[in-house]
Structure 1
């Protein structure tokens, strides 16, 4: 009987009984694997959320850039219109320069802002003005001291575009403007002998205008204004 018990005990000893340390290790490995799996899922979620946010930010940036572009485009000038305007201005300038060719012929001189034609023969005031009109100009209108000095260089008895033919004593320029700046010689105008037209005498001084009969014969100066 004792043998049997002893044998039975030995057989029980041969049975594999899980070691406590081994079980603990196995549980730890299982728990560690679970933790790793959980950490992996969390990391995936973080990456997915981050990627989603990046996509949203990129979309917002694209929209902002498009809005900025359209806004700036709305403020940008119409280049086609600019080119058209420049072309029109160029053609207009060419036409003006072509017109100026006439005033670059012999007999014409330039003194800002006009071209002037200095006659080489003598005629009455009315004939002199008619000649200027045929040339696309009119008798000179003197508006400044500088222009008076320029016209006085030629040292001739010269018709200018000033008259009181319409109303005695009311001097007006050929363009209809009233006389404001004048350079009358001493004692002029005196209004004798129907002297309704004005000549610049050849006196070498600043004030040398005289009223004369419009039928007298003088040289003349035409003026063509080309700039304001």
Structure 2
């Protein structure tokens, strides 16, 4: 066999072998490409959500926006958004709950704005609010005398009650003031 024929023979035999090798490497290359794309997408999403979280809470303390107890609030109270909140462990009727809050220089929970009190979405059980029905009407007012605004909370009339309980996701339900529920007290940061 001459060198020219040997060279052409090698090229022919190298061709199919190399083709098979390229064929085996193609799925591996595709898997690596997909993994890199997914990693980049993940990092972009983390950056976006971090930015959203930082921009969504401009009024929060940077070091500790949500703390239990601590410097600004009494023991067993939660600090969030320049307010202190107390989540009762005991169940009382609305009047007893209001009196318990007043005895601690606070009031029953009032929802001023969804953005300022976003952590309330985490509540999963019923708690008394400082919200009562105005006698002889379908309107509601806070126990400080201010009227409920539509952007604050949605009240669903369930039992034609004159008091209300906070449920979750900025929804409240009417309830008899004599029913027993947990309650939330709130006050300005000390």
Smaller-chain TM-score range? 0.5 to 0.7
Which of 157, 176, 180 is 1:189 aligned to? 157
Deviation at 1:161, TM superposition (A): 0.8
1:217 aligns with 2:187: no
Contact 2:72 2:189 (C-alpha < 8 Å) held by counterparts? no
Report the 3-state secondary structure (helix = DSSP H, G, I; strand = E; otherwise coil) of the residue aligned with 2:177. coil
Larger Rg: 1 or 2? Answer: 1
1:160 aligns with 2:161: no
Q: If each structure's strand is expressed as a fraction of its own residues, which one has the higher value?
A: 2
Alpha-carbon RMSD across the aligned residues, in angstroms, is 2.6
Contact 1:158 1:200 (C-alpha < 8 Å) held by counterparts? yes
Deviation at 1:170, TM superposition (A): 2.5
Deviation at 1:207, TM superposition (A): 4.3
Deviation at 1:200, TM superposition (A): 1.2
Rounded to whole Å, the distance in 1 between the matches of 2:98 and 2:87 is: 12
1:200 aligns with 2:169: no
**Could you state the TM-score of these two structures normalised by the residue count of structure 2?**
0.56
Contact 1:168 1:196 (C-alpha < 8 Å) held by counterparts? no
Structure 2: where are the runs of 5+ without partners? 1-68
Contact 1:160 1:200 (C-alpha < 8 Å) held by counterparts? yes
Q: If each structure's helix is expressed as a fraction of its own residues, which one has the higher value?
A: 1
Runs of 4+ residues deviating >4 angstroms: 100-103
Residue-pair matches, total:
121
Deviations 1:147-169 (CA, angstroms, capped at 9, x unpaired): 45322323111111110154432
Rounded to whole Å, the distance in 2 between the matches of 1:103 and 1:214 is: 32
**Could you state the TM-score of these two structures normalised by the residue count of structure 1?**
0.47
**Residues 200 and 121 of structure 1, relative CA distance in 2, 3 Å threshold:** same
Structure 1: where are the runs of 5+ without partners? 1-99
Rounded to whole Å, the distance in 1 between the matches of 2:148 and 2:92 is: 24
Deviations 1:17-53 (CA, angstroms, capped at 9, x unpaired): xxxxxxxxxxxxxxxxxxxxxxxxxxxxxxxxxxxxx
